[in-house]
Amino acid sequence: MEKSLIIVESPSKAKTIGKYLGKNFIVEASVGHIIDLPKSKLGIDIEKDFLPHYAVIKGKSEVVKKLKSNAKESEKIFIATDPDREGEAIAFHIANEIKKENKNIFRVLFNEITQKAITVAIQNPTHIDDKLVNAQQARRAMDRILGFKVSPFLWKKVRYGLSAGRVQSVALRLICEREEEINSFKSTEYWSIVGEFQTEKKEIFFSKLFKISDKEIIIPEKEVLDELKRKGILEKYISIDSQNVSENIIDDIKNQSFQISKIQKRESKVNPKPPFITSSLQQAAFAKLRFSPKKTMMIAQKLYEGVELGSEGTIGLISYMRTDSTRLNDEIVDNARNYILEVYGKEFLPQEKTTYTKKKNSQDAHEAIRPTSLKYNPQFVKNFLSKDEFVLYELIWNRFIACQMSNAILETRTILIEGGKYIFKSVDSSYVFLGFLKIYKEEEEEKNLDEDDEIKRKIPLSLKENQIVDLENLIPHQHFSKPPARFSESTLVKELESLGIGRPSTYASIVSTVIEREYVIQKERRLFPTLLGIDINKILVYNFPDIFNVKFTAKMEHELDTIAIGKSTYIKVMNDFYKPFSKSLESAESKTFALPHELQTDANGQVCEKCGSKMIEKWGRGGKFLACSSYPNCKNTKSIGKDEREEPKFSGEKCEKCGSEMLIKKSRYGEFFGCSKYPTCKNIKPIPSGIRCPKFKNGDVIKRSSKRGKAFFGCSKYPECDFVSWNEVVNQTCDNCQNEYLLKKYTEKKGNHLYCDKCKSETLIEDKQKLENG
């Protein structure tokens, strides 16, 4: 019997699938895309209906050759790439490459890598979906055209090597606009008043001033006031806007007698969250586990493709992780309900299965992210997973089980205390039934901490309506309204999703790209635009206002969806994109070569010492610098710090050429010493590490970066000394051969360890530390 060939993207996925299929199948991996647009040219024939010209990716020729050879020898070919647009495009290109060898090609789709799912898929093969292929092709073509046309524009305006992206640049715009909001925000002062009350039984409780003369006290933020004004009900509200007003109110309150005017008790249901989709998984992993979206997706990919579970072999633990659907199949829901009944009891199991409403823009192509089998609970798999894999799997497991559990029941007591025209209010909440909260509690990422901690204390259960209470104390609190919070990686993903920008397969790369390009930096898990990012955004928005905006980008995402469902065509959508884009590009290129006036930053009033003209800030290969505004008549330049937020870092070293202070500077290859008198003095030298070079005793080992950005270690006396190592050099003596240095290495199998390149001995760093500590 002739064998069948199954082609997937990754070797780990191939290994898991191969385990289920047996000897009649050959499973091969394409290792991602084998075909793409060429790197050196546009690759899109705009005049011929945007016809793409694909080429085999460099380094993939042997993969293609092997796939062709196996296809020739096989009876049938099943292409089992991921069940999304990207996977469909990979399948299409593979099929095109191998169809001359064998035309008996089928497409198989499965949402999880389990024996049942794979068997059902092979028994019910389909064909490659041209609509999905065209949707992916349109996205790729848009991104390529925009990147190839706009990036050179940035090279002219700012510096070579910069790039723009169709979606990433809109994400950058959101970050920059949020920064502008924060910088222009004017804080408003307001006050709150907390009363300390005592019952006749000497029970103390706290309550917050809620109303004055039937007018509710509010925070006087502009958005709140504008909304109340729009509704025509602003006169029903009041704010305490100064200490003087607060003190007058307190003086008047002290003259009042108080009693409890109303006690309201009610129960409310708290519904469980739906099972994870891509964006909600990224947000929860960020909040609970401190994982970036990129890290979350890398770990989820491993869990999906398969993990070794001892005697169980390689098992795919979760369903496909790029999805915008909360849908679940009946079988897995029934299994979850049985599990809940058995483990938690019937009170935690709702009478009916819980289903979740489809979101407006959801493609609903795949199920939600869930465990593939309830046999593999977190405790079962814990010893086989890394720490990061385990906590993410546990998060997915708990959210899935919780989504089928009973609602939590929250009891809320509201107490109103009245005296004259003043009403104080206390609210006390507690869960009378945990329900799904027994295993999954949502943690809010943005915590609005109330300064009035006193009112969070429990209210006495003995309180009754019309009960007289004594006012013991009044505590005023000063507050200031806060600007909107900066985006985190998680909240940016949430914002992009709500605006209809990006898709489950692209969220992680959108966020990581703006960081990797140094348009954005992270500080305390918040995203700050760099000066470069702010200037790039200004240039793009100024020159391409109709392209790099939320509305146009969301419209294009929607049009890509219409291709995928057959309501539009590749050519129509590409024309809808290219016509406004080409007009914007033509308009931008017709403008003056210099930066627009409003983008030229005056250098704090500094004047050119050579001609007296104003100095302005410009960008060069090494970052921002000052240049004379009279260029090219005057070519005077001066260096400035890379980021206005950073003070110059003095090294304590003197320049051996001019005697000035040496600064610690940073380039794309790492930190170095540079003369503070640059560009008058251009002396630079590497920062000494204190670790002697093993080969050249007068040199230091320093960390450097290759042209591709990979870190390596070399001698500071290069080119006199050619010592180089991919591993960090450590000044420790080898216990076996007394070699004066060791290399620090890491492998998955051995972890962190020290390696001697003379005697080849290895020592785990943990063991070395234990020995040194006795």
- Residue 17 confidence (pLDDT): 92
Residue 239 CA to residue 376 CA, distance in Å, equals 56
Burial bucket for residue 635 (CB in 10 Å: 0-12, 13-18, 19+):
exposed
Residue 450 has pLDDT above 50, yes or no: no
**Catalytic residue flag (residue 320):** yes
Residue 180 has pLDDT above 90, yes or no: yes
Residue 14 CA to residue 204 CA, distance in Å, equals 67
Task: Please report which confidence band the pLDDT of residue 603 belongs to, taking 50, 70 and 90 as the band edges.
Answer: low
99-116 confidence digits (pLDDT tens): 999 999 999 999 999 999
Contacts of range 596-601, beta carbons closer than 8 Å, 24 or more positions apart: 596/542, 598/538, 598/542, 599/535, 599/538, 599/539, 599/542, 600/629
CB-side exposure of 564: number of CA atoms within 13 Å? 20
- Interval 180-189 mean pLDDT: 90
Residue 164 CA to residue 245 CA, distance in Å, equals 52
The reported pTM is: 0.75
Pairing of strands 742-747, 728-730: antiparallel
Query: Which is catalytic among the residues 20, 190, 304, 320?
Result: 320
Residue 20 CA to residue 315 CA, distance in Å, equals 10
68-78 confidence digits (pLDDT tens): 999 999 999 99
Residue 404 CA to residue 555 CA, distance in Å, equals 35
Task: Please report which confidence band the pLDDT of residue 506 belongs to, taking 50, 70 and 90 as the band edges.
Answer: confident
- Residue 284 confidence (pLDDT): 94
419 token code pair: 């005296």
Q: What are the residues facing 270 on neighbouring strands?
A: 408
Task: Please report which confidence band the pLDDT of residue 681 belongs to, taking 50, 70 and 90 as the band edges.
Answer: confident
Residue 564 CA to residue 130 CA, distance in Å, equals 8
Residue 131 has pLDDT above 80, yes or no: yes
Residue 634 has pLDDT above 80, yes or no: yes
Q: Is 106 helix (H, G, I), strand (E, B) or coil?
A: strand
Q: Please name which of 415, 414, 413 lies closest in space to residue 258, comparing C-alpha atoms.
A: 415
- Residue 645 confidence (pLDDT): 39
- Residue 713 confidence (pLDDT): 83
The kind and range of the H/E element at 663 are strand 661-667
C-beta of residue 210 within 8 angstroms of C-beta of residue 455: no
305-315 confidence digits (pLDDT tens): 999 999 998 99
Task: Please report which confidence band the pLDDT of residue 504 belongs to, taking 50, 70 and 90 as the band edges.
Answer: confident
- Residue 265 confidence (pLDDT): 93
Task: Please report which confidence band the pLDDT of residue 752 belongs to, taking 50, 70 and 90 as the band edges.
Answer: low
Amino acid letter for position 190: Y
Residues 6+ apart with CB under 8 A from 612: none
456-484 confidence digits (pLDDT tens): 557 888 999 999 999 999 999 999 988 89
Q: Please name which of 392, 187, 156, 369 lies closest in space to residue 289, comparing C-alpha atoms.
A: 392
Report the mean per-residue pLDDT for the chain: 86
Task: Please report which confidence band the pLDDT of residue 145 belongs to, taking 50, 70 and 90 as the band edges.
Answer: very high
Instruction: Specify the range with the lowest mean pLDDT, choosing from 62-71, 77-86, 435-444.
Output: 435-444
- Residue 774 confidence (pLDDT): 33
Residues 6+ apart with CB under 8 A from 677: 655, 658, 660
Percent of the chain with pLDDT over 70: 87
508-534 confidence digits (pLDDT tens): 888 888 988 889 998 888 999 988 899
Residue 93 CA to residue 81 CA, distance in Å, equals 11
- Residue 338 confidence (pLDDT): 96
